[in-house]
Chain A
Amino acid sequence: MNWRTVRAIAGKDLLEVRKNRLAIWSILGLSFILSVGMPLLIGLLPFDVGPSGGDLGPFEALMTLLPPALQGLPDGARMVVLMLGYFLAPLFLIIPLMVAAIIGAESFVGEKERHTLEGLLYTPATDLELYAGKVLAGAVPSVLAAYLNFTAYAIVVNLVSAHIVGGIWFPTVTALALAVWVGPAVALLGVSASVLVSTRVETFLEANQLTGLLSLVIVGLMVGQGSGLLLLSLPVLLLVGLVIYAVDLVLIRLGAAVFSRDRLMARA
């Protein structure tokens, strides 16, 4: 495998993505909503910031799972911490997933739509290099986007809640693990899934919708979180990340095996 060729392919795909307005605006819009809009909205909700002792209903049990350092806070503050620091955090994984899926859809299916694979056939680039380039083109920006968004999220969260929590408190260890460890795993999941999807569908939109189904993984994480199953624990997050990486590995190898220009062009 020749790295210059791989990089050339990744570069070309990213150039392509930059020209796809739908892709760019989806990524920017989603980022803004998740990293700025949501925390802002929740931070501005009028939680009762009075002393502890109020009835928190179903959340009461969850509250007790918060790290000891945060237990002493008033109910309202604990509520904000719970929402911003824990409930919303998995939702944040949608960013690497979607960015990877959007770029993947653009780079694999877009090529099919534009009939540009034929041209690549005539270059010395191999299928494997092409595939590696495309995986790289999907993975690098989505991890980058995840980190940028995480930083933005952290800033907004502290801006809206530092005064009630009593200082800068985010990111928590678990949120950090989520972003740094689980985020890239999910990005790779988006990339590898879109490769496989692209061998089946014909248009960018179709590919995007199908890969969007992957968000279910994240919804799953949220439900687990909400029901207290997965809450907060670093070991659980590390394990979840590990499992997703393993799935990534399988999917990426599978993708390399099925990815062929001939097959994508459906001719011999």
Chain B
Amino acid sequence: MTQPAILAEGLEKRFGALVAVDRCSFVVNEGEVFGFLGPNGAGKTSTMRMIACVSPKTGGRLEVFGLDVNERPREIKAMIGVVSQENNLDPDLSVYDNLVVFARFFELDRAEAARRADELIEFFGLGEKRDTVIEVLSGGMKRRLTIARALINRPRLVILDEPTTGLDPQARALIWERLRTLRDRGSTILLSTHYLEEAERFCDRLVIMDNGKILIEGRPDEIVSSRMGRAVIETVDDPAVLACLAREGIAYERFGDLVHITTNSPEPLIQRLVSSCNPSRLSVRNATLEDVFLRLTGRGLKD
């Protein structure tokens, strides 16, 4: 039995009267990619900051690689790499200097720091910008550099708080591609995001948080199939269709101007709908985490 990378039990973070993280329990195993999903204010950042030992927990138990965050923060920090939500690179330094300077805080000697810096510059495709002051880099490059910096100490656990938020799709794809390589090398990765499709594809396991609470935990496909069934039929929200669905005894949910019907066997249901309700529009798609989220919270993730 190997020891988990992170163990949280009844973890809590209060800011005065506000409960940002409300008695959360979860386990992240070594080698796993674990996601925190949730809307803004859900408590993702607060949770990750406690794990990174930069924000004291106000209750519960929290261990990283078996070490208590309150008792052994230095040792924990030496073993992890953190990409915080905001880039906090040094704007006055070059790409290379940002990495080398940071390396020195992890007690790497000069030669080793230089070696790793160049390695990471290569890995993140920043070679052409090596000696450029980071002020002039694009958002995607800055993000890549921030991730590179978090890897300078060869961390056993990498924590990424919304690594792709605010970037264009191309820049995001590039980052996911690099993270995938990292995952394949066996790093334990903890990340938060509100791009559900990306999380669904990338995470081995994830939790959905809202208002400081974990609503659900599990493998993405299992969460979707257990909560939603295989498919979602979408049709228009008009009174005739609603009346027909009620008459047929078909369960549905209304979201904005759409009606969702979830099912494990869409084909016969579609035939039934078309023949008896005759809606003006109808479509089928695979159920997604977004649907689970809508159902759990009654609202979309990007609200």
Partner-B contacts on A (CB < 8 A): 2, 4-5, 8-9, 11-12, 15-16, 19-20, 114-126, 268
Contact = CB atoms under 8 A, between A and B. Distances in A.
A118 B86 contact: yes
Interface in B51-92: 52, 54-56, 74-75, 77-78, 80-82, 84, 86, 88-92
Contact of B88 (A12, A15, A119): A119
Contacts of B86: 115, 118
A253 to B, nearest CB: 23
B101 A121 contact: no
Interface residues of B, number: 29
A123 B54 contact: no
B158 to A, nearest CB: 11
A122 B82 contact: yes
A115 B101 contact: no
A66 to B, nearest CB: 49
A101 to B, nearest CB: 19
Contacts of B80: 122
Contact of B92 (A5, A114, A125, A126): A114
Interface of B: 15, 52, 54-56, 74-75, 77-78, 80-82, 84, 86, 88-93, 97, 101-102, 104-107, 149-150
A115 B102 CA distance: 15
B92 A12 contact: no
Nearest to A18: B92
Nearest to B52: A122
A9 to B, nearest CB: 8
Given A114-B91, A116-B88, A123-B105, 8 more contacts: A12-B104, A16-B90, A19-B92, A119-B89, A120-B105, A122-B84, A123-B102, A268-B56
Contacts of B89: 116, 119
